[in-house]
Chain A
């Protein structure tokens, strides 16, 4: 277990297996290469918390909640950099959530997905080659549906 400082949950203990390395960082934050993936069982959101900067954390969400046939098309180099063969290997895909002043206008970035190799614990922010997806895809309505299904 590791003790880390988080932006949203204060000081927490987290399993070392949740540590994900981003060799190229995340666009705009290239010098931050190490994050912890925090999973909250009762929430559709996950957190990608920088291991060294308490104030740096991204909120992530599963893009398939919003676009069921979301097609992840990314460059070969991106697949190689996280040691994934998309035809064979398992990988995780997330979208970064932005919550503006009015939280009802929250959006997810479907154009710059976070792709993680869960076995090697390596991640990347890829740029989708399929540019029909929005950087600011509104998500509140879909979340309402998801959460109400969860209540049943």
Chain B
């Protein structure tokens, strides 16, 4: 992995059309500004990972239980 040091308001370029600028630096958090063509997807990695994890748990189950039974059970309980 390439590691670069940057100060506040400095930036870096990825290819000729993506710019990442350090907008603010706090103790354990930095704010990045990203200028990129609109077709470049930019997603926080933890969101990407969470959706992946959710997909995997969605298919782990054997199948759909009988919805009517669940709802009836749930209604009776209240």
Contacts and interface: CB of A to CB of B under 8 A. Distances in A.
A62 B43 CA distance: 24
Nearest to A57: B59
A29 B41 contact: no
B47 A136 contact: no
Nearest to B75: A144
A43 B67 contact: yes
Contact of A58 (B39, B41, B55, B65): B55
Interface string A127-138: 100010001100
A28 B47 contact: no
Contacts, number: 90
Contacts of A31: none
Contacts of A125: 51, 55
Q: Main SS of chain B's interface residues? A: helix
Contacts of A26: 55
B62 to A, nearest CB: 8
B39 A80 contact: yes
A111 B51 contact: yes
Interface of B: 38-41, 43, 47-48, 50-59, 61-65, 67-68, 70-71, 73-75
Interface of A: 7-8, 26-29, 43-45, 55-59, 75-78, 80, 96-100, 103-104, 109, 111-112, 125, 127, 131, 135-136, 140, 143-144, 147
